[in-house]
Structure 1
Amino acid sequence: MVTPSRITLARKRRGLTLGELSELTGISLQSLSNYETGRTGPRVGTVGRLSQALGFPVDFFEGPEIDELPVDGISWRARTKTPVRTLDAAKAAGTLATQLYEWIDERFRLPAPDVPTLGKPDPETAAQMVRTRWGLGSVPAPNMVHLLESHGVRVFSLAPDYAEVDAFALWRGAVPFVFLNTGKTVERGRFDAAHELGHLVMHGPDRQCVGPEAERQANDFASAFLMPTSSVLGHMPHGAHVDQIIKGKRIWKVSAMALTYRLHDLHLLTDWQYRSACTELSSRGYRTDEPQGLKKRETSQILTKVFQGLRATGVRPSTVAAELGITMDELNTMLFGLTITAVDGGGETTASDGKRALALVT
């Protein structure tokens, strides 16, 4: 029995309209519409054609209903003119990742969510409140993916075919999710993670999280979270030159442009100095890249430990993919490009509920 919502999800994941899928499969537009609405069901041979065209195993279409991520609850960090079909495709990929999360959650004890949803504090105050709650003080933030995971945020990578989408976040019930583009520089990836944390804290799960004002607030939160006021004032001079900015950015592991913005925000650069620094940094290639920047991408420790633990007990990633009804290629898009190898099971214990608990570090 084919599940209509799974046909729709698979089509959106590939960024296709009904008309385009009709052309690919030779199935009439009306028939496809009927399949997705559940008015009629496709025959076995037709399911095979859908499977081949959409790149999903036949078993995927026969699974239980899937609830897509809610559009209204997503904070998009994407280009202004990103096509709706691209956002739909990224949302569909996120929906599949939540299925992986549920599979993992049934077998492992994951950290409980510890992300405060604050009233309406300004971004600077919100960032300081979260830092205090998480015991960070004013020291530079550690690995951002590890930090989020240790406080109960489920972090997955975005498929590389969504270059226009930098990141997005949402609350799914009481569980916060963040999805990150791995095609960015390490420094910009850290900022994206902090930006999405800002959305989770200030704009969810019950508050508006879209629009220019929400994006500005999340940017300001990320800036304050990654570069605390007291830390920046203690390390950076007034009127810092570009070479000082490039040297200073390594303290907080941020982009040169992000530090320049923060210096201006803290009145350590005048308007003229800020514009001049941005112009020079741009001429040196810092507008779109981070020359001589960090090389080691921040990735998920939870996903690494989960798949290492599974393999140590004989469960291979291909088994997980098969149980989810997806291909290994699809699974890999969620895993930050991790190469999962077998380990001896260290850092893992079995809890009283039968789930395996993971030992995490930040």
Structure 2
Amino acid sequence: MDDRTPQLPFEAEFSPDKLRLARCAAGFTLADLGNLLGVSRQYAHKLEVNAVPSPAQIELLTEALGVTEEFLSSPRRGSVELEQCHFRSLRASTQTIKKSIASQVELFELLVNELEQEVDFPPVGFNPFETPLTGDDVIEKAAEGFRRDLSIGIGPIANITRLAESAGVLVVNLADADDRIDAFSLFNKRPLIVRNTAKDNPCRHRFDIAHELGHLVMHQGIETGCRATEAQANQFASALLMPRASFGGEFPSMRGQYLNWAALGELKLRWKVSFKAIIYRAQTLNLITQDQARSGFTYLSRNGFTKREELDEHIEKEAPSLVQRAVDLLDHATWRRILKSAGLTDALVKERFMLKVPVSPLALVT
């Protein structure tokens, strides 16, 4: 293969930036792109700088990346930058993984922008908390203020995902996201939370959503990812899911120096949080001592309850529904128009964002 490439004319209808976006969203490296096209990595790099792919290469790119020719021929009008994003991730996660997730979210926002031309999503129902985060009590008040904004009282939250969506937050699944990323949030035109479906733990998912709500409420305009901001979001999640005004009164008395695990099980099922989260919260509220909390964590570890816990199977696995409901309102012709404008394909929307898409009447007959 001759790696010499034509230089990109000023008028050419090809966007190297959009190719880079689609490649990152698909998790492809430049070497992967070269292998796809049967060219060198250097040639692939030129395509993202100042070269124009051939029609045959365009066909290969659209099929592999899940985008259309229109997508690759339209300018990139905005980008999701990492400093805008709140990642709930393990330390092992890399910038490459985060860029891939951010690129997938940028594609999702293209779809949402088009959906909003047809469907009215709920307005954002909470206010940013702008008081300096100087201590735990301030964060408690931020969580209590969020509950007041949404008029949900001080009892258990039956479905935190549905609550977030009712507050105008779009929650989206990303299929097969790297398991080193737990969750992700962003507030551009509207707040958005990404869930990683690779981890199958209902209590962990609920806490992740509450954690990301903490970022959206407390950290607008603040770069997160450090220990301090992560601890603040964790504290917000605990306070949101287990309000001090009510949770403390339900926490069971100790059996001497030992936790009452049977009663804690009932508490877990009522509040839909993990044993680990219950123990942390009890220690934060001074309901148990540090030594008693340490003993509880040791018990959980000794019994293999680090990733999955007893009674998890009795807690509902939450799933987002707001965007799917918006898609379900559309007829096939409108859906085709939205896809065309976004430059995405049915396959990408179904496989990446785990959404069911409208089918044509002819397909139903067939």
- TM-score (norm: length of structure 2): 0.84
Deviations 1:136-179 (A, max 9, x none): 22111231121111111122112323221111111114x21111
1:245 pairs with 2:247? no
Residues 12-161 of structure 1 correspond to what in structure 2 (within 5 A)?
12-37=24-49, 39-119=50-130, 120-121=132-133, 122-161=138-177
Moved over 4 A (4+): 314-323, 337-342
Q: Identify if the C-alpha distance between structure 1 residues 305 and 50 changes in structure 2 by more than 3 Å, giving closer, same or farther.
A: closer
Tell me the distance in 2 between the aligned counterparts of 1:309 and 1:252. 33
Check conservation: 1:238, 1:269, Cα contact below 8 A.
no
Compare CA radii of gyration and give the structure with the larger one: 2
Counterpart in 1 of 2:317? 297
Name 1:354's counterpart in structure 2. Answer: none
1:339 & 1:84 partners in 2: Cα distance?
Answer: 31
**Gap regions ≥5 residues in structure 1:** 343-362
SS in 1 for 2:193: strand
Instruction: Report deviation, 1:329.
Output: 3.6
Contact 1:285–1:291 (8 Å) recurs in 2:
no
CA drift at 1:323: 4.9
The one-letter code of the counterpart of 2:318 is E
Deviates further, 182-191 or 91-100: 182-191
Count of residue pairs brought into register by the alignment: 336
- 3-state SS of the aligned residue for 1:103? helix
Aligned: 1:218 with 2:218: no
Shift of 1:314: 4.2
Does residue 275 (structure 1) correspond to residue 294 (structure 2)? The answer is: yes
CA shift for structure 1 position 251? 1.3
How big is each residue's C-alpha offset from its partner over 1:169-197, in whole Å with a ceiling of 9 and x where there is no partner? 11114x21111112331111111111001
Once the two structures are superposed, residues 247-297 of structure 1 have per-residue CA deviations (whole angstroms, 9 ceiling, x without a partner) of 211111111211111111111121121111112122333210133324532
Equivalent AA in structure 1 for residue 234 of structure 2 = N
Shift in alpha-carbon separation, 1:285–1:154, aligned structure 2, 3 A = same
Partner of 1:358: none
The CA distance in 1 between the partners of 2:165 and 2:291, in whole Å, is: 40
Task: Give 1:352's aligned residue.
Answer: none
Q: Report the counterpart of residue 209 of structure 2 in structure 1.
A: 193
CA distance in 2, matches of 1:160, 1:178: 16
- TM-fit CA distance, 1:207: 2.1
1: distance between equivalents of 2:22 and 2:103? 8
CA distance in 2, matches of 1:260, 1:245: 9
Query: How many Å apart are 1:339 and its aligned residue?
Result: 5.4
The answer as to whether partners of 2:177 and 2:197 remain within 8 angstroms in 1 is: no
SS in 2 for 1:108: coil
Partners of 1:110 and 1:52 in 2: CA distance: 31
Letter of the 2:242 counterpart:
M
**C-alpha displacement of 1:75:** 0.7
**Post-superposition offset of 1:83:** 2.0
Q: Which runs of 5+ in 2 are unaligned?
A: 1-12, 360-366
CA RMSD of aligned residues (A): 2.4
Q: Distance in 1 between matches of 2:270 and 2:94?
A: 37
* Other-structure match for 1:236: 251
SS of the counterpart of 1:222? helix
Task: Please state how far the C-alpha of 1:35 moved relative to its aligned partner.
Answer: 2.1
How many angstroms apart in 2 are the aligned matches of 1:99 and 1:53?
A: 19
Give TM-score scaled by structure 1 length: 0.85
Give the Å deviation of 1:219. 0.4
For the 8 Å contact 2:178–2:198, the answer to whether it is kept is: no
Please give the alpha-carbon distance, in whole angstroms, between the structure 2 residues aligned to 1:274 and 1:340. Answer: 48
Tell me the equivalent position of 1:306: 326
Structure 1 CA distance for aligned equivalents of residues 113 and 23 of structure 2: 22
One-letter amino acid matched to 2:177: D
Contact 2:93–2:180 at 8 Å: present in 1 too?
yes
1:223 and 1:59, CA in 2 relative to 1: closer, same or farther beyond 3 A? same
Offset at residue 242 of structure 1 (A): 2.6
Identity across aligned pairs (percent)? Answer: 29
C-alpha contact 1:2 1:62 (8 A) present in aligned 2: yes
SS of the residue corresponding to residue 184 of structure 2 reads: strand
Q: Which residue of 1 aligns with 2:363?
A: none
Contact 1:242 1:281 in 2 (8 A): no
What is the CA deviation profile of residues 46-90 of structure 1, one whole-angstrom value per residue up to 9, with x for unaligned ones? 222333443444443234425221211101001112122111111
